[in-house]
Structure 1
Amino acid sequence: MDKNGNHTKLAAYSHDNDRTTPLKIEFDISDNYKIQTFRRKIFRELDTEFARHNPESVFMSNEHLSLMPNRSEIERLRNLLNAFSKDITVIIYLRKQMEQHVALSATRVVRGESKYSMELDSKIKEHRFYDYLGCIDTWADYFGKNNIIVRPFERKQLKDGDVVKDCLDILDVEGNFSFTKERNKRPSVECIRFLELINGHLPRFQGASLAPYHRDVGDLVKAITDGAPYREPGINEFQSLFNDQNAEIARKYLGRDDGVLFTKDTEKADADAVAEELTVEKAIEISSRLWVEQCKTIDCLGTQLLAFKSLFDEIGEIRPCTTVETAPPPERETLVKKCPERHPSNQ
């Protein structure tokens, strides 16, 4: 499974065959044969890990699981996990819908979309990204209401204001852990404005495949830019659309008779940040930083290649590039690829 603790393969495993998703594109599982092969591979990997470690408990986490829209996908995930254990607890962290919307908008731009917008009207309450009550009820249908733990994703309500410490507390895990500094901060306004422009010329996807040159440009721009965090106008009014739903969640899943899910504090939108536009000077500055970072990467790769060459030279593994011109025609293309500088067309 995933070595970095972010179990994206669980979500990809669960996605319906007829649904095209970024994860399925990333793992190249576009047709039924590849999907079934991928699922068998995931099952074998899980089976191997459980057999090797024989763990008392296993923790799996990925935000893509919360965005699965179909009951069949949640059922497929449950059936996979039930093959290894029937004792399953689902922990769901909920952030304010207005924060969810801003995060989704920004993330889509960072991931390659040139523009992301959604009408903030009453109909949006039924959208799967924001219908928290419907989402939790569906998971409860498959895993049992008593096995669902709901936590508001607010610093004031988290243990020591940290989601990792809060989760470990729920799991009753003790130990001396070192925690990284805050990561995945909201991108700045200048980051979003710059990416909205560049993504129009450098798309992340080409049809059902990843584009070859987009790569992680969004993450890089996010890392080298600063300034006021990205906000949207009217976002506080948007939050009020979900008051009734959130009150029902608080009563039903947290046992709060007062129906308070999130604190009353509302984060004020930064009007200046929302209105700020990307200037030509700022765009050139960001482009210059990108160039510098890419040059650093190329220099680093060059240093590594020289080190490898020196190593191979020492052990005598470097051989002159030669070809055998008597090879039959079907082999000629292979020879060209192996040693293009010797091909007549390159002389």
Structure 2
Amino acid sequence: MIGIIHMGAAKTGSSTLQEFFHLNRERLRDAGVFYPRSPGAKQHGLLAESCIDPAREPEREAAERRNREFRESFAREMERDAGGMRHLLVSSELFHARLWNAGEVEKLKALLEPWCSSWRIVFYMRRQDRYAASLHSTYLRRGGESDAILDVLNPHHFDYGGILAMWSGVFGSGALLPRVFERDALAGGDIVADFIEASGLPLALDGCARPPDRNAALSADAQWFLREFNRRRPRSVDAMSDGETLLRRNIAAFLESRCAGAPALPTRDAARAFYAGYRASNADVARRWFGRDALFDESFDDYPDVAADAAPDAMDITAPLLRELAANSLWLDEDRRKRLANAKSTPALLAILAGYLEECDPALAQRLRDAVPD
């Protein structure tokens, strides 16, 4: 089989591609392309995680057990279901984000080699300042508290020349198919059509199910609210607990549906300075892989001269969020949920909630009363 690896990066349409592969799994199979389920129904994060050096795992024994179980499950699925297939397609932005050295990439190759004899590896690159700015919302969704939009936790993610060199050293330069993630650079301005063209997938788009447009960008106000929420969470809260994860997911979903819009951006000077650190490396990538001098469009006109610093009225977001969370809460009976739904004003809503919380959390009830607008 030909191994087709979509390695990301994040914030380059990866979720849209993975949803497309998932929706069209049977059409892919009819075309001789196997998109496995055992690494993840939509995206193959377990495949990437299984290749991470155990020394980097905080719970080494648990990680090794998870990886062993995954490899056994993956091998069973391949032996049972991949017979007669001509292509193996795997997709995860974690291939880019989590595999940091050649040894980890070599593990991925070794894991797939029993079934694959050649490779096509598609990697989408977004201009570094735009990539970092887009990652800021993800950082906030995960509990981040900083308002430094261009802070990066792992510079490895942005060194495209180093990434291409590392993967080329393992799979061979002929296997790498780097692409620029800019609308004008994509085939038909469409990430799905571009991937099919780049990878050589034997699939016609006509008749394929297409995922809905994914536009869940958080507005600057929503980002501010999420950052302030994170800063005020008690330090005793376990950020990895199921309850905390569910709460963050519900808040993010609410903000995406009610507060989508233009995100906060760094200033034009800050974006230029950030990008300048990668310009020389990008030029090397452009010459090596594309036969030109510049990798990206280098306009910075979409950034403001001065950063906006006005905070929204927090209650405009808080009151409907509390209503939404309470309406879906299992600890409120139907009558109480109806009372909340029928509250005609923010003060009325907060007063009702404070009354419900009085017995179980008097301190929180008092904080709600204190927050009632005059």
TM-score, structure 1 as length reference: 0.73
Instruction: State whether structure 2 residue 284 is matched by structure 1 residue 248.
Output: yes
Identity %: 22
Name the amino acid aligned to 1:73. Answer: E
Q: Which amino acid aligns with 2:137?
A: A
Distance in 2 separating the partners of 1:143 and 1:14 = 15
Asked if 2 retains the 8 angstrom alpha-carbon contact of 1:186 and 1:230, the reply is: no
Larger displacement relative to structure 2 (99-108 or 231-240): 231-240
Q: Is residue 64 from structure 1 mapped to residue 94 from structure 2 by the alignment?
A: yes
Q: Does 1:266 align with 2:313?
A: no
Provide Cα deviations, 1:248-305, integer angstroms capped at 9, x if missing partner: 1112122x1x322112443421457x414323x2x11211222233244348x989xx
Is the Cα–Cα contact under 8 Å of residues 75 and 142 in structure 1 kept in the other structure? yes
Which residue pairs with 1:177 in the alignment?
A: 208
Q: Distance in 1 between matches of 2:273 and 2:302?
A: 11
1:168-212 per-position Cα deviation (integer Å, ceiling 9, x unaligned): 122332242232333154321111111111012337996784463
Confirm or deny: 8 A CA contact 1:160 1:166 kept in the other structure. yes
Q: Which residue identity lines up with residue 15 of structure 1 in the other structure?
A: I
Residue number among 291, 295, 311 corresponding to 1:278 in the alignment: 311
Superposed displacement of residue 230, structure 1: 2.2
Letter in 1 for 2:88: V
Alpha-carbon deviation of 1:97?
0.5
Is residue 144 from structure 1 mapped to residue 172 from structure 2 by the alignment? yes
Match status 1:132 vs 2:163: no
- State whether structure 2 residue 249 is matched by structure 1 residue 213: no
The 1:231–1:135 alpha-carbon spacing in structure 2 relative to 1, beyond 3 Å, is: same
Matched positions, count: 284
Structure 2: give runs of 5+ residues left out of the alignment.
1-37, 335-374
Cα deviation for residue 3 of structure 1 reads 4.8
Q: Give the whole-Å Cα distance in 2 for the aligned partners of 1:31 and 1:94.
A: 32
Q: Does 1:102 align with 2:136?
A: no
Match of 2:361 in 1: none
Are residues 204 and 146 of structure 1, via their aligned partners in 2, closer, same or farther at CA, if it must alter by over 3 Å? farther
Question: For the structure 1 residues 208 and 226, does the alpha-carbon distance in structure 2 shift closer, same or farther, using more than 3 Å as the test?
Answer: closer
Q: Confirm or deny: 8 A CA contact 2:150 2:274 kept in the other structure.
A: no
Residue 360 of structure 2 is matched in structure 1 by none
CA distance in 2, matches of 1:288, 1:139: 49
Cα deviation 1:22-70 (Å, max 9, x = unaligned): xxxxxxxx53332222112211222222222322212211112112323
CA distance in structure 2 between the aligned counterparts of 1:229 and 1:71, rounded to whole angstroms:
35
Tell me how far 1:84 sits from its aligned partner. 2.5
> Which of 55, 67, 71 pairs up with 1:18?
55
Change (3 A) 1:271 1:287: farther
Question: Which amino acid in 2 is paired with 1:53?
Answer: A
Q: Is the 8 A contact 1:224 1:289 kept in 2?
A: no
Distance 1:66 1:79 in 2: 17
Whole-angstrom distance in 1 between the partners of 2:41 and 2:305: 37
Q: Does 1:202 align with 2:230?
A: no
1:232 equivalent to 2:266? Answer yes
Matches within 5 A, 1:76-95: 76-95=107-126
Range that drifts further, 199-208 or 235-244: 199-208
What do the CA deviations read for 1:198-253 (whole angstroms, capped 9, x no partner)? 01233799678446324313343233213432211221342233222111111212
Residue of structure 1 equivalent to 2:82: 53
User: 234-243 or 198-207, which moves further after superposition?
Assistant: 198-207
Q: Which moved more, 1:236-245 or 1:138-147?
A: 236-245
User: How big is each residue's C-alpha offset from its partner over 1:143-182, in whole Å with a ceiling of 9 and x where there is no partner?
Assistant: 1110000000000000121212210122332242232333
Cα deviation code 1:123-151 (max 9, x no counterpart): x8x92122110111001111111000000
User: Closer, same or farther in 2 for the Cα pair 1:261/1:205, shift >3 Å?
Assistant: farther
Counterpart in 1 of 2:353? none
Question: How far has the Cα of 1:94 moved from its partner?
Answer: 0.1
RMSD: 2.9
- Matched with 1:154 is 182
Cα drift, residue 15 of structure 1: 1.8
